[in-house]
Amino acid sequence: MREFETYILPNGIRGIHRQVASGVSHCALVVNAGSRDELKGEYGIAHFTEHALFKGTERRRAYQVNCRLENLGGELNAYTTKEDTTLHATSLRRDFRRSVELISDVMFHSTFPESELRKEREVIADEINSYKDSPSERIYDDFEDMIFRGSELGHNILGKKTTLERLSTNELRSFVERTYTTDQMVFSSIGNFSASTARSVAERYLGGYEPTERGYKRVTPDVYVPFSVVQHRHTHQSHGIVGTRGYGISDERRLPLALLCNVLGGPFANSLLNIELREKHGLTYNVEASYTPYSDSGIVAIYFSSDHCHSDHCLELIAKQIEALRSQRLTPRRLGVAKRQFIAQMAVSMESNEGYMLGAGKSYLLYKDIDTLEEAYKKVMAITVEQICDVANDCFSQLSQLIYK
């Protein structure tokens, strides 16, 4: 039996299912629409729409949406990123049909009542205030805005309170009509039932809507211009990001870059930056490197926090480690350790059926295919020291930095 089974509904919604021995089922409708698809003047509408989907449908009031699965011990939730919006549900196996019906109702029959939108604006305003109080989160958005300056990838997902006040029911409906098209949707599921059962349920609740197609194309970001910026935020610590543009999801160098970032500042204590900044010099509690690919670009970010008096030293040590990766190839032994570590991280992350289901849905949405774990492992093991060195020299030749002091 294949790890995943795929299918296509009559209206173009694609489906992917994995059968596992579990009494719990997970499912999600992944939509290829996020904050990148917002027009100027409506920044924040993708995230606002995600919240508003729960505020009532043609069949249910808001409290009925929230209680439908929770009264059964399940859960309905959602999240928004720069490029996608995902509705996902968890329930007992016997309640899988209820989960799919609820996702369908919320996605295709939400009414966005103005009375509920008024309350939800206040909720999101509080979320924005909380985010502003967290410099370790805010600096990522500020840095990304500078990396993609002038692009729809730049502005943060939450938007501004002044913009939210102007967004009405009609504008949310227009955004949904323009971006939530069936050719940009994937239904992903995992549970102890066959792919034919998953498809049958999906056809009943998702397949009967008219097919729709996206009528626009995303604009590729302008040429990247490096920068160095210090902002005085009067924080107790300095917070810093050093980074650059990365590769898009279709670039064959994406996996070597992900492995390189894991070696440099992954979640383990033996990452190069953790050893250098924390263990050896005691300059920081937290230093990490991340790589986020988008459809046609990406971003690499090395984050650290430290006492104000240590921030310059941290920057010097980060630059030293980056230069070493550019000029000195990893030894075969060090690369072998890095690969095994990376593969183990992938395997652990897939232990969560929900995480596996969400990852599979997004992969199928983006690639129209999905690698099995074995195929992913083989690709990691095929990475060479030359590829790592080439990627380090290509990506890290034009670094930018943003410091909060």
In a domain, 211, yes or no: no
pTM: 0.93
pLDDT in tens, 8-44: 999 999 999 999 999 999 999 999 999 999 998 999 9
Give the pLDDT mean for 100-117: 96
In a domain, 343, yes or no: yes
DSSP H or E segment with residue 164:
helix 161-166
Total number of domains in the chain: 2
Give the pLDDT mean for 88-114: 97
Give the pLDDT mean for 237-258: 96
pLDDT in tens, 54-89: 999 999 999 999 999 999 999 999 999 999 999 999
pLDDT value for 368 = 83
234 lies in the same domain as 322:
yes
pLDDT value for 1 = 44
Are the beta carbons of 365 and 14 closer than 8 angstroms? yes
pLDDT in tens, 333-375: 999 999 999 999 988 888 899 999 999 999 999 888 888 888 8
In a domain, 290, yes or no: yes
Residue 345 lies in domain: 228-404
pLDDT value for 389 = 95
Torsion of CA 21, 26, 32, 38, to 10 degrees: -160
202 lies in the same domain as 236:
no
In a domain, 222, yes or no: no
Specify the residue for token string 């593969």.
Answer: 343
pLDDT in tens, 161-192: 999 999 999 999 999 999 999 999 999 999 99
For residue 357, give the CATH number of its domain.
Answer: 3.30.830.10
**AA identity, residue 109:** H
- Residue 249, pLDDT > 50, answer yes
Return the structure tokens found at 250: 């279709």
In a domain, 219, yes or no: no
Instruction: Using DSSP, state whether 256 is helix, strand or coil.
Output: helix
In a domain, 266, yes or no: yes
162 lies in the same domain as 263:
no
Return the structure tokens found at 202: 């999906």
Burial environment of residue 7 by CB neighbours within 10 A (0 to 12, 13 to 18, 19 or more): middle
Q: Share the mean pLDDT of the chain.
A: 95
In a domain, 90, yes or no: yes
The bridge status of strand 185-191 relative to strand 14-19 is parallel
180 lies in the same domain as 237:
no
- Residue 211, pLDDT > 60, answer yes
Among 206, 241, 268, the domain boundary falls at 206
127 lies in the same domain as 12:
yes
Residues 165-177: b if buried by 16+ CB within 10 A, e if exposed: eebeeebbeebbe
200 lies in the same domain as 65:
yes
Are the beta carbons of 80 and 47 closer than 8 angstroms? yes
pLDDT value for 367 = 86
235 lies in the same domain as 164:
no
258 lies in the same domain as 187:
no
Identify the band that residue 2 occupies on the pLDDT scale cut at 50, 70 and 90.
Answer: low
Least trusted range by pLDDT, from 127-136, 175-184, 243-252: 127-136
Give the pLDDT mean for 90-96: 97
198 lies in the same domain as 234:
no
What 8-state DSSP symbol labels residue 308?
Answer: G
In a domain, 217, yes or no: no
